Amino acid sequence: MIPIAWYLIFSAALFCIGLFGALARKNAVAILMGIELMLNAVNVNLIAFWHYYAQIHSRPYVHGLAFTTMVFVVAAAEVAVGLALVISAYRRRQTPVVDELTLLKG
Amino acid sequence: MTVETLVVFIPLMPLLAFFAIVLFTHRNNAVSHWLALIGAGLAWLLSMVVFGRAIQTEDLSQHPFAAAIQWLPTGSTGLEIGIQIDPLSAVTLFFVAWTVLMIFIYSIGYHNFGQPKGEHDRPGLPPHGAEIQDAHGHKHRVPSIEPMYARFFALISLFAFAMFLLVVTDNLLTLYVGWEIMGLCSYLLIGFWYGKESARNAMIKAFLTTRVGDVFMLLGLAALYSLTGTLNYQAILNNPVVLNGLASANSPLAGISWAGLIGILLFVGTIGKSAQFPLHIWLPDAMEGPTPVSAMIHAATMVSAGVYLVIRFFPLLSTGWDGHHLTLPMLLMGGIGAFTALFAATIALAQNDIKRVLAYSTISQLGYMIAALGVGAYVAAAFHLITHAFFKALLFLGSGSVIHGMEHGVLHTGEKIDPQNMLFMGGLRHKMPITFWTFLAGGLALSGFPLITAGFWSKDEILSGAYASGQLLIFWVLALAALLTAFYTMRQITLTFLGKPRSQSAEHAQESRPVMTAPLVVLSFFAITVGWVGIPQYFPLIGGILPNWFEEFVGSMLLSPAEKAHHSLLPLITSLVVALGGLLLGWLAYRKVFQPFDPLEKPLGGVYTLLRNKYYVDEIYQWAFIRPARWLAETLTDRWLDRTIIDGVLHSLGNFGMWLGKTLRQWIDLPVINGAGDLTASGTRNIGTYLRSLQSGRVQLYATVGLGLVAAVAILIYFLWVIG
Each residue of B95-106: pLDDT tens digit?
Answer: 899 989 988 998
Interface of A with B (CB under 8 A): 19, 22-24, 31, 98-99, 101-106
Distance CA B270, CA B261 (A): 14
What's the pLDDT at B716?
A: 93
Mean pLDDT is lowest, of B119-128, B348-357, B358-367, for B119-128
- Is residue B272 in some structural domain? no
Last residue of a domain, one of B599, B617, B651: B599
Give me the domain span that covers residue A50.
26-97
Of residues B299 and B477, more confidently modeled: B477
The alpha-carbon gap from A99 to the nearest alpha carbon of chain B, in Å, equals 6
The alpha-carbon gap from B679 to the nearest alpha carbon of chain A, in Å, equals 22
b/e B191-217 (16+ beta carbons within 10 angstroms → b): bbbbeeeebbebbebbbebbebbbebb
pLDDT digits (tens, 9 = 90+) for B394-425: 888 888 888 888 888 888 887 788 888 888 88
What's the pLDDT at B195?
A: 86
Asked if B525 and B661 sit in the same domain, the reply is: no
pLDDT band at B26 (very low <50, low <70, confident <90, very high): confident
Mean pLDDT is lowest, of B79-93, B296-310, B566-580, for B566-580
Q: How many CB atoms lie within 10 A of CB B549?
A: 13
Q: In angstroms, what CA-CA distances link B495 with B224, B225, B423, B435?
A: 49, 52, 6, 14
pLDDT band at B593 (very low <50, low <70, confident <90, very high): confident
Of residues B157 and B618, more confidently modeled: B157
Q: Do A23 and B704 touch (CB under 8 A)?
A: yes
- Chain pair A-B, CB pairs under 8 angstroms: 34
pLDDT band at A10 (very low <50, low <70, confident <90, very high): very high
Smallest CA-to-CA distance from B14 within B146, B103, B79 is with B103
Length of chain B equals 724
Interface of B with A (CB under 8 A): 691-700, 703-704, 707
Last residue of a domain, one of B541, B570, B599: B599
Mean pLDDT is lowest, of B161-165, B516-520, B591-595, for B591-595
What's the pLDDT at B274?
A: 86
Name the phi and psi angles at B499, rounded to 5.
70, -155
Task: Nearest by CB to A98, from B693, B700, B704: name it.
Answer: B700
- Is residue B174 in some structural domain? no
Asked if B475 and B549 sit in the same domain, the reply is: yes
The answer, yes or no, to whether residue B163 has pLDDT greater than 80, is yes
Task: Nearest by CB to B695, from A23, A101, A106: name it.
Answer: A106
- Is residue B505 in some structural domain? yes
Name the phi and psi angles at B253, rounded to 5.
-80, 130
The answer, yes or no, to whether residue B495 has pLDDT greater than 80, is yes
Distance CA B571, CA B433 (A): 35
Q: Do A22 and B696 touch (CB under 8 A)?
A: no
Mean pLDDT of chain B: 85
Query: A19: which chain B residues are within 8 Å (Cβ-Cβ)?
Result: 707
The answer, yes or no, to whether residue B512 has pLDDT greater than 80, is yes
The alpha-carbon gap from A15 to the nearest alpha carbon of chain B, in Å, equals 13
Please give the tally of structural domains in chain A.
Answer: 1
Query: A105: which chain B residues are within 8 Å (Cβ-Cβ)?
Result: 695-698
Distance CA B299, CA B387 (A): 11
Of residues A84 and B633, more confidently modeled: A84
Task: Nearest by CB to B696, from A23, A24, A102: name it.
Answer: A102
pLDDT digits (tens, 9 = 90+) for B529-545: 888 887 777 777 676 67
Amino acid at B567: H
pLDDT band at B550 (very low <50, low <70, confident <90, very high): confident
What's the pLDDT at B560?
A: 60
- Is residue A56 in some structural domain? yes
* Three-class SS state of B83: strand
Predicted TM-score (pTM) of this structure: 0.76
What's the pLDDT at B678?
A: 92
- Is residue A79 in some structural domain? yes
Asked if B651 and B552 sit in the same domain, the reply is: no
Strand pairing of B65-74 and B130-133? unpaired
pLDDT band at A38 (very low <50, low <70, confident <90, very high): very high
Across B68-95, average pLDDT: 83
The answer, yes or no, to whether residue B656 has pLDDT greater than 90, is yes
Going by the DSSP 8-state scheme, the letter that residue B171 receives in this structure is: B
Half-sphere exposure of B265 (CA within 13 A, CB side): 19
What's the pLDDT at B218?
A: 92
What's the pLDDT at B713?
A: 95
The answer, yes or no, to whether residue B277 has pLDDT greater than 70, is yes
The answer, yes or no, to whether residue A84 has pLDDT greater than 70, is yes
Predicted ipTM?
0.80
Percent of chain A whose pLDDT exceeds 70: 99
Percent of chain B whose pLDDT exceeds 90: 11
Asked if B675 and B574 sit in the same domain, the reply is: no
Query: A32: which chain B residues are within 8 Å (Cβ-Cβ)?
Result: none
Last residue of a domain, one of B599, B622, B652: B599
pLDDT band at A44 (very low <50, low <70, confident <90, very high): very high
The answer to whether the beta carbons of residues B474 and B371 sit under 8 Å apart is yes
The alpha-carbon gap from B686 to the nearest alpha carbon of chain A, in Å, equals 14
- Is residue A92 in some structural domain? yes
Maximum Cα–Cα distance across chain B: 158
In this structure, is the dihedral angle defined by the CA atoms of residues B447, B453, B457 and B458, taken in order, positive or negative?
negative
Distance CA B336, CA B339 (A): 5
- Is residue B662 in some structural domain? yes
- Is residue A9 in some structural domain? no
Query: Could you give the dihedral angle defined by the CA atoms of residues B57, B552, B43 and B187, in that order, rounded to the nearest 10 degrees?
Result: -150
Mean pLDDT of chain A: 88
Strand pairing of B65-74 and B139-142? unpaired
Asked if B534 and B424 sit in the same domain, the reply is: yes
What's the pLDDT at A12?
A: 94
Query: A106: which chain B residues are within 8 Å (Cβ-Cβ)?
Result: 691-697
The answer, yes or no, to whether residue B496 has pLDDT greater than 90, is no
What's the pLDDT at B86?
A: 86
Asked if B710 and B654 sit in the same domain, the reply is: yes
DSSP code string of B366-420: HHHHHHHHHTT-HHHHHHHHHHHHHHHHHHHHHHHHHHHHHHHHHHHH---S-TT
Going by the DSSP 8-state scheme, the letter that residue B719 receives in this structure is: I
Searching chain A, which residue's CA lies closest to the CA of residue B692? A106
At CA B381, angle to CA B376 and CA B382, rounded to 5? 125
The answer, yes or no, to whether residue A16 has pLDDT greater than 80, is yes
pLDDT digits (tens, 9 = 90+) for B460-484: 888 888 888 778 888 888 888 888 8
Give me the domain span that covers residue B467.
328-599
Query: A102: which chain B residues are within 8 Å (Cβ-Cβ)?
Result: 696-698
Asked if B374 and B471 sit in the same domain, the reply is: yes
What's the pLDDT at B565?
A: 53
Please give the tally of structural domains in chain B.
Answer: 2
Distance CA B19, CA B492 (A): 40
The answer, yes or no, to whether residue B141 has pLDDT greater than 90, is no
Contacts of B179 (CB under 8 A, 6+ apart): B162, B166, B214, B217, B269, B273, B305, B309
The alpha-carbon gap from A6 to the nearest alpha carbon of chain B, in Å, equals 23
Q: Is the bond leading into B278 cis (omega within 30 degrees of zero)? A: yes
The answer, yes or no, to whether residue B139 has pLDDT greater than 90, is no
